[in-house]
Amino acid sequence: MLAYRLRWRLATAFLVTGLGAPAPAAESALDPLRVCDALKAEGLPTSPWTAFDDAFGNIVVRNYRCLSEPLTIRGGGEGRFITALNYFAEGRVPQRVETIRLVLNVHAKATRAAGIDRLVKLTASLFGSLGAPPPPALAAAIREAQPGSWNHDLGTVRFEVWQEPVERLRLSINIGAGARRP
């Protein structure tokens, strides 16, 4: 069965994209290793895609994820409160990413504008790495700190803004069933 699936994918890739062309975005861009490395060149390398257990009451659920170390936004007064970006991906099975998040935590108001600029650039890089354009209104929503949600080829793209306990701007890509790898 596995050999049949592999032959089918190769034949489909050849017919749709031609010999030597990259695989479609839904097949290759959402691979956990590729997603975890999507922003590595931008200064957000992540931990390896690894299992972790979430406890819900008496039930333990196995999930998978990769996380970045915070990317500090420099500028303003130096102190113990910093503005930082974090990147991570999660899924319920080892072969598939289901959620991708990029989060800006604004702890220092003096670095807010620089943090938002960096978030806009990282968002564009992330979508480029995933092989899909971002929703047209997303960059403006980030710059204006206006929440929004968009249907996308990858699934649902959501931008959220919180003010308490700290200002947080969060981009989430919830991978739709059509974009998930089998």
DSSP strand pairing (155-162 vs 148-152):
antiparallel
Neighbours of 48 (CB within 10 A): 10
Instruction: Indicate the pTM of the whole model.
Output: 0.79
CA 152 vs CA 11, 52, 136: distances in Å: 27, 29, 10
In the numeric block, the tokens 């650039």 are attached to 121
pLDDT for position 82: 84
Q: Give the start-to-end residue ranges of the domains of the chain.
A: 25-175
pLDDT in tens, 5-64: 333 333 333 333 333 333 344 445 689 999 999 999 999 999 999 999 988 889 999 999
pLDDT for position 163: 92
End-to-end CA distance of the chain: 13
- The confidence band for 180, taking pLDDT boundaries of 50, 70 and 90, is low
Percent of the chain with pLDDT over 70: 78
